[in-house]
Structure 1
Amino acid sequence: MSHESSQPPVARPHRVVVIVDENSNPFELGCAIEVFGLPRPELGRELYDFRLCSPEPRTLMRDGFYTLTGVADLDAAEEADTLIVPNRPDIEVPRRPALLDAVRRAHGRGARLVGFCSGAFTLAEAGVLDGRRATAHWRWAEAFRARFPAVRLEEDVLFVDDGDILTSAGSAAALDLGLYLVRRDHGAEVVNAVSRRLVFAAHREGGQRQFIERPVPRVAEDSLARVLAWAQARLDQALTVDDLAAVATVSAATLHRRFRTQLGTTPLAWLTSERVALACRLIERGEPSLELVAHRCGIGTAAHLRTLMRRHTGLSPSEYRRRFSS
């Protein structure tokens, strides 16, 4: 008689592979490592299986800042569930054929593709963006359109989610897109834990503007921190812009300008995002009543909650519960 265990094999975590090529940007590589590559003992589980690979044994990073060695070769890309492609400042230099072939093969077998900053050029050069939506750093938008007219470039947004291909704008937007993917993969509770460790906002809408104007240095009195904390503690209440302005002791128009300057969004849009984020956390924690969730988040009704969750997460509350509830 066989005494083999009937326990199913433990599935490996989602595998994220980053291809690093000559003159790649260190900042975006660091973002990928911070979001996907670090162990998360505070969560009690491994979120991702993270690997770096390169076409060459030694890779000189941007402007010769340092040389990367000791990483896997391009064969590692063949096992990626998510493949992050190289991004470089020399956008006119063609990518290596072997690298582009690896991107095409990953796309052909259904891997998720991600391009940070100028990574959209790599994806477009591989031919996987034709007819698709994408974004890139604002300074290269004109050059991108000229080279890849078949791609539907969206300027002045932080990132674009086109299903199995996602792209982000200038450097710091790599963190926004990375955290967005963690939220999509693991839910609001996990992404909040990751963002706290990063000391970075857990969620900014992809459609926010790339370039947040800061014409003069802000003084301490202009900080929104006190207003944001006050509002976050009262999301179950019917807050208005006038309420927030009163706490900040400024006019509604001045508050609106400060939100635009410091957060790149409006007070009402920020409030809605915070309400939806709270709703996601409550659903993940097992709250069964959508009406109660809607009430505790200040959203009003379950019907309105369903509309907002679909708009912000792409999932209905029931779908979100099935995917992320503990």
Structure 2
Amino acid sequence: MHISVLALEGVFDTGLTVTLDAFRIANNLSGRLTGGTPHFDVSIVGVRRKVRSGQGLAIPVQAVTPELKPDWVIVPALSTGTPEQLVPALERPDMKQLRAQLLKWNADGAQIAASCIGTFFLAEAGLLDHREATTTWWLAPLFRQRYPNVRLDESRMLVPTDIGVTAGAAMGHLDLALWLIRKASPELATVVSRYLLADIRTLQAPYIIPNHLAQADPLVLRFERWARDHLKAGFSLQEAASALATSARTLQRRCEAVLGKSPLSYFQDLRVEHAQSLLHGSGLDLDAIAAEVGYADGATLRTLLRQRLGRGVRDLRAELR
């Protein structure tokens, strides 16, 4: 499998290096465990002749040439962690070159992969229109605003489609690399994950901080503050809207636009977040925690935790020790 990792000026150092290291380890282990040849022919390419990472390190890139015919192209993130940094970066001249090159590779049959902020570059090129995708969770409101034709689900860690795959935030680069290794050899991916002490994750949901998402919109932020004060009392859309001096329809519309979910669903996210905190440090039993977040019994909360986080109460308590 020929993989081209596309390094852009200001590339996220960890995202680039963890991707390269995962494939190098896979190649080393493949030869050692099976005696076979390496599975992955990896090159670092750039649309600019000279590229420096976000930490200022020189990246030895190869030029993109017509002869380059990768099976997969991986686009790591930039070190631009806020909308104020990212939006101007998307207008850089090399980004326009990148969009054209991604479309050409896609037309030539290459699969395209991106992690974290790298998913924005695929969306900029229109490659994710009318497709499912994930992205770095804290920039999901910006992603929704900028690319309304993409079916975004930032709770997922990996979303494969017909054009390739998108992955979640930061260390999602490693999840993406392991996913590609697994396509070649599930056994090899398991061994690599053990060498790297990396669990194979399917969800970003346990890592999402609801308050960070709410800050993308003043009305949603006010709703978040109201909701935290009413977790035990229960949810009423009309009551929330009245308290915020808006209409239920406007509140529903803003939550859908910014968060990709209804006010009730976000209210449940806040309940889950608070319940996780209580599981960690309160010493309360599950029924008592359920009462603290507005549920009549622990069974309902147990079901919600598993639905939202993909893990049961016992697993969550074990993780937080």
Pick the TM interval, shorter chain. Answer: 0.5 to 0.7
Whether the aligned pair in 2 keeps the contact of 1:74 and 1:99 (CA below 8 Å) is: no
Specify the alignment match of 2:266 in structure 1: none
Moved over 3 A (4+): 206-210, 212-219
Where in structure 2 are there 5+ consecutive unaligned residues?
A: 210-272, 282-297, 316-321
Partner of 1:282: none
Q: Does 1:108 align with 2:107?
A: yes
Partner Cα distance (1:118, 1:67) in 2? 19
Counting only pairs closer than 5 Å after superposition, residues 170-319 of structure 1 correspond to structure 2 as 170-187=169-186, 189-201=187-199, 203-206=200-203, 209-211=206-208, 215=277, 264-267=309-312
CA–CA separation in structure 2 for the residues paired with 1:77 and 1:200: 35
Q: CA deviation at 1:72?
A: 0.4
Instruction: Kindly state the Cα deviation for residue 24 of structure 1 after the two structures are TM-superposed.
Output: 1.1
Identity of aligned residues (%): 27
Distance in 2 between the 1:134 and 1:148 partners? Answer: 11
In structure 1, the gaps of 5 or more residues are: 1-13, 220-251, 271-326
Q: Partner letter of residue 52 of structure 2?
A: L
CA–CA distance in structure 2, aligned partners of residues 181 and 103 of structure 1:
19
CA 1:76–1:134: 2 relative to 1, 3 Å: farther
Counterpart position of 1:306: none
Instruction: Work out the CA distance in 1 between the residues paired with 2:181 and 2:7.
Output: 21
Q: Which has the higher helix share?
A: 2
TM-score (norm 2): 0.60
Q: Which residue of 2 aligns with 1:246?
A: none
> By how many angstroms is 1:184 displaced?
2.1
* Higher RCO, Cα 8 Å, sep 6+: 2
Contact 1:77–1:102 at 8 Å: present in 2 too? Answer: no
Is it true that 1:40 corresponds to 2:85 in the alignment? Answer: no
C-alpha contact 1:77 1:106 (8 A) present in aligned 2: no
Alpha-carbon separation, structure 2, partners of 1:77 and 1:264:
45
> Deviations for 1:225-283, whole angstroms, at most 9, x for unmatched residues?
xxxxxxxxxxxxxxxxxxxxxxxxxxx98xx69x97xx943249x9xxxxxxxxxxxxx
Partners of 2:65 and 2:309 in 1: CA distance: 40
Counterpart residue number, 1:82: 72
Instruction: Please give the TM-score of this superposition, normalised by the length of structure 1.
Output: 0.59
1:138–1:206 distance in 2 versus 1, CA, 3 Å: closer
Alignment-derived partner of residue 17 in structure 2: 30
Secondary structure at 1:104's aligned position in 2? helix
Between the aligned partners of 1:193 and 1:55, the Cα distance in structure 2 is 34
- 1:91 matches 2:89: no
1:208 and 1:142, CA in 2 relative to 1: closer, same or farther beyond 3 A?
closer
RMSD (CA atoms): 3.5
**1:52 match: secondary structure:** strand
Quick one: distance in 1 between partners of 2:132 and 2:162? Answer: 10
